[in-house]
């Protein structure tokens, strides 16, 4: 058995919980040389940190992320902090030769993302951007079908990401409503996911044209005054893919009734695929090769042993949940570290995604199409 990978996590909120679950469970399902060790957790808030470590079993604590990175007993740094800290932590971790997994969105802008990517490349460490939806078995199956040519030439990639947690106008004004502090709203949280899926499944995006909107223009601050909302509630954009497909990316936090509704529809010359994250165990697949009298969208329950990742789980029809994607992600990362192989999505993917978002924002500001940089 190989040496266990020691993990140091920076950040203890929502994603910290999801990643903790993955580290805990990954050894049950993946054949690893050794399960990862939850060695150290870091947060500037000591109370949060105590509660987090106690509940999730992180063995030691740091309140300064730089100290965590300097520790010799840490092999892998997991970055689940607020967005603005991603770059400094990642660049420093790379310099110390740590492997890195970083939550999305990758950075405040593409320039930061590039620095992170370059630092990781230079240090030759494993680097993963946590686009966990790449590891939904149904999405992996979609990827496989596309690679096998089952869809032929792709004509359309139409994706939406609908949530409604900002729908209540009484949601109070927070730093996140200020574009200068929280960065892009729907873009970073939501479009980042579907842009990555678009790149993963259909390829590079060459140009975009975007429209953003704030629907609730001001919200009440804790002090009773009204704050101007500048971060977008919704961000829509059209896109042209390098290989010729035409697509849209629609993200909104004001889509009443939708909770975590991420849908993509891919149409090709030979077939089509639909996916919906709220039914993530299913994939709809249409093939022009079927007998014309019985052509129809097949509802695949992606829980068969022949499907990606499923051989390690349960019998057919026993569905997986959202957080299983993190187990897949961490499992693949640990194996990559063990074997010294690459793993995706990596920091290059994260940077490319950020470039698309940046181009979209620029497009919105200019009211016209903007090219995504070649690299």
Residue placing its CB nearer to a second copy in the complex, 85 or 288: 288
What is the torsional sign of CA 191, 372, 110, 185? negative
Shortest reach from residue 204's CB to a second copy, in Å: 17
Shortest reach from residue 95's CB to a second copy, in Å: 33
Cα first-last separation, the chain? 40
Shortest reach from residue 211's CB to a second copy, in Å: 5
Residue placing its CB nearer to a second copy in the complex, 164 or 178: 164
Shortest reach from residue 368's CB to a second copy, in Å: 4
Residue placing its CB nearer to a second copy in the complex, 5 or 93: 5
Shortest reach from residue 207's CB to a second copy, in Å: 9
Shortest reach from residue 18's CB to a second copy, in Å: 7
> Cβ(312)–Cβ(320) under 8 Å?
no
Q: What is each CA distance from 205 to 75, 171, 190, in whole angstroms?
A: 34, 35, 17
Distance CA 107, CA 129 (A): 11
Q: Closest by alpha carbon to 198, among 229, 225, 236, 160?
A: 160
From the CB of residue 28, how many other CB atoms can be counted at a distance below 10 Å? 9
Which residues, in sequence order, are CB contacts of 347 under 8 Å at separation 6+?
90, 100, 102, 106, 113, 116, 117, 120, 121, 127, 128, 129
Residue placing its CB nearer to a second copy in the complex, 115 or 329: 329
Residue placing its CB nearer to a second copy in the complex, 122 or 365: 365
Residue placing its CB nearer to a second copy in the complex, 10 or 159: 159
> Cβ(354)–Cβ(110) under 8 Å?
yes
């Amino acid at each position: 058995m190989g040496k266990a990978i020691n993990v140091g996590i920076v950040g203890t909120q929502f994603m910290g919980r999801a990643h903790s679950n993955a580290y805990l469970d990954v050894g049950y399902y993946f054949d690893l040389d050794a399960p990862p060790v939850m060695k150290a957790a870091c947060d500037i808030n000591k109370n949060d940190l105590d509660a987090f470590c106690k509940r999730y079993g992180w063995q030691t604590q740091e309140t300064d992320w730089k100290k965590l990175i300097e520790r010799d007993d840490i092999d892998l740094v997991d970055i689940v902090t607020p967005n603005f800290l991603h770059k400094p932590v990642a660049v420093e971790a790379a310099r110390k030769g740590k492997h890195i997994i970083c939550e999305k969105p990758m950075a405040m802008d593409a320039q930061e993302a590039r620095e992170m990517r370059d630092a990781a490349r230079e240090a030759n460490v494993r680097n993963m951007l946590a686009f966990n939806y790449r590891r939904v078995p149904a999405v992996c199956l979609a990827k496989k079908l596309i690679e096998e040519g089952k869809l032929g030439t792709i004509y359309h990639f139409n994706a939406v990401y609908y949530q409604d947690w900002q729908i209540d106008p009484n949601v109070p004004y927070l730093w996140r409503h200020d574009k200068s502090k929280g960065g892009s709203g729907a873009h970073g949280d939501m479009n980042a996911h579907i842009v990555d899926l678009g790149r993963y499944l259909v390829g590079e995006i060459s140009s975009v044209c975007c429209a953003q909107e704030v629907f609730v223009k001001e919200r009440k601050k804790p002090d009773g005054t009204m704050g101007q909302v500048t971060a977008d509630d919704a961000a829509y954009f059209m896109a042209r893919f390098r290989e010729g497909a035409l697509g849209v990316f629609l993200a909104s936090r004001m889509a009443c009734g939708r909770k975590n509704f991420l849908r993509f529809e891919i149409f090709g010359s030979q077939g089509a695929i639909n996916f919906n994250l709220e039914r993530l165990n299913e994939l709809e697949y249409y093939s022009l090769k079927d007998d014309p009298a019985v052509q129809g969208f097949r509802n695949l329950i992606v829980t068969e042993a022949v499907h990606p990742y499923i051989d390690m789980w349960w019998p057919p029809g026993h569905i997986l949940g959202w957080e299983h994607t993190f187990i897949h992600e961490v499992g693949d990362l640990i194996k990559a570290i063990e074997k010294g192989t690459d793993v995706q999505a990596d920091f290059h993917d994260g940077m490319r995604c950020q470039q698309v978002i940046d181009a979209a924002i620029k497009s919105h500001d200019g009211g016209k199409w903007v090219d995504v940089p070649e690299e």
